[in-house]
Amino acid sequence: MERLYPQLILDALKNVRYPASGKNIVDAGMVEDDIRIDGNKVSFSLVFDKPTDPFIKSLVKASEAAIATYVSPEVDIKGNIAVKTRQEAPQPAVRPLAQVKNIVGISSGKGGVGKSTVASNLAVALAREGYKVGLLDADIFGPSMPKMFGVEDAELYMHHVDGRELIIPHERYGVKLLSIGFLVDKNAPVLWRGSMASNALRQLICDADWGELDYFLIDMPPGTSDIHLTLVQTLPLTGVVIVSTPQQVALADARKGIAMFTGDKVNVPILGLVENMAWFTPAQHPGERYYIFGKEGGVELAKELGVKFLAQIPLVADVCGDGDAGTPIALGDTVMAHEFAHLAHEVVDAVNERNNTLPPTRKVNVTKK
């Protein structure tokens, strides 16, 4: 066999043509300038535009055959041709929250009904029962969880997991927590268009290291909005808990929220309804109840719509005070802590019943006309 040199290899490869253009692979710039010769062993790289090019395998074989034919069959070339692409291979899609068993939304038809208070205390109550819990503050334009958990000044950090750089959720009271409030000035309003808010929310879901969780709670914005659509399109929600006061105005909006989730296009199960601020009991008169927002409106709405009624949570000053202090009242051993522990048990039962009777939820495909 004659002495091998790079030009000899290139001349042989000029006999190989790329089917899509008809040009030989040398003139087409498909042979990388990395030809290596070690005795009778030859190696080099072929460069393609896309990793999905249908001619990759056939051109590698044709190149091996050309060298054996036009140089010598004694050349050790088989298996020594590398393939490079100008475009990076698409990364396999990462399923959001792959290690999470149940994804539960906490929603309300209108603001001011105590949805975030219920969400924060429910998360703490579930954690106290021994469950692994995550809480996402998805109320993009009014994030309150950093204050309710006493972590307003906390900073976010990232670390590498399986080649990806992921946000590390804060952990407080046994709950993993992320909020858009960690990313913005707490004293300034969040003036974002809908697409910016949706993208930020997806990042907190998909680019965070939530790990293994039994329950992933989402404190949704009040009402119905693009954020709700983003959530149901991004995640397969196990179900939603609706929070309302007994007031008729709040119940009317709660009805709309239930209709959105149970509609044909979204079709997310309703786990149940929580009547918050069901009555007011003064600390000086613990046996008295004042129904300042109406009586059992949530109970009646649940019966009317055929959804599970989860709990009545009274209006107590300490709930507000403890929330403002960053110590959710569910942490203690008070009557209110027991109320939220009861709610946690009811939610667990509702989730188990839903999982035993309904198929797994799928992400929603909402199309615009």
Model-level pTM? 0.74
Per-residue pLDDT of the chain (369 residues; tens, 9 = 90+): 678 888 999 999 999 999 888 899 999 999 998 899 988 999 999 999 988 888 999 999 999 999 999 999 999 999 999 999 887 656 556 678 999 999 999 999 888 999 999 999 999 999 999 999 999 999 877 889 999 999 998 888 889 888 888 999 999 999 999 998 887 777 776 666 667 778 888 889 999 999 999 999 999 988 877 788 888 888 999 999 999 999 999 999 999 999 999 988 888 999 999 999 999 988 788 788 999 999 999 999 999 999 999 999 999 888 888 999 999 999 999 989 999 999 999 999 999 999 999 998 888 775 544
Do 228 and 258 touch, CB atoms closer than 8 A?
A: no
For tokens 């205390």, the residue is 121
- Given the DSSP bridges, would you call strands 239-244 and 270-280 parallel, antiparallel or unpaired? parallel
pLDDT for position 369: 47
Assign 208 to helix, strand or coil.
strand
pLDDT for position 93: 61
Query: What letter would DSSP give residue 267?
Result: -
Do 77 and 115 touch, CB atoms closer than 8 A?
A: no
How many Å apart are CA 218 and CA 139, to the nearest integer?
9
How many Å apart are CA 285 and CA 5, to the nearest integer?
99
pLDDT for position 3: 82
Phi, psi of 271 (to 5 degrees): -75, -30
Q: Which residues contact 22 (CB under 8 A, 6 or more apart)?
A: none
Nearest CA among 8, 76, 3 for reference residue 43: 76
> Which two structure tokens, joined as six digits, stand for 265?
């296009």
pLDDT for position 192: 66
Do 119 and 106 touch, CB atoms closer than 8 A?
A: yes
For tokens 């403890």, the residue is 322
CA dihedral 254, 225, 186, 245 (to 10 degrees): 0
C-alpha angle 303-289-110 in degrees, rounded to nearest 5: 50
How many Å apart are CA 136 and CA 219, to the nearest integer?
6
**Domains of the chain by range and CATH?**
6-85 (3.30.300.130), 100-357 (3.40.50.300)
Q: Where are the beta strands (DSSP E) in 194-333?
A: 213-219, 239-244, 270-280, 309-315
Burial class (CB in 10 A: 0-12, 13-18, 19+), 245: buried
pLDDT for position 10: 94
230-242: b (≥16 Cβ within 10 Å) or e = bbbebbbbbbbbb
For tokens 């615009």, the residue is 368
Burial class (CB in 10 A: 0-12, 13-18, 19+), 332: middle
57-71: b (≥16 Cβ within 10 Å) or e = eebbebbbbbbeebb
> Which two structure tokens, joined as six digits, stand for 159?
């670390």
Task: Report which residue type is found at 62.
Answer: A
Instruction: Tell me which H or E stretch contains 38.
Output: strand 36-38
pLDDT for position 94: 66
pLDDT for position 327: 95
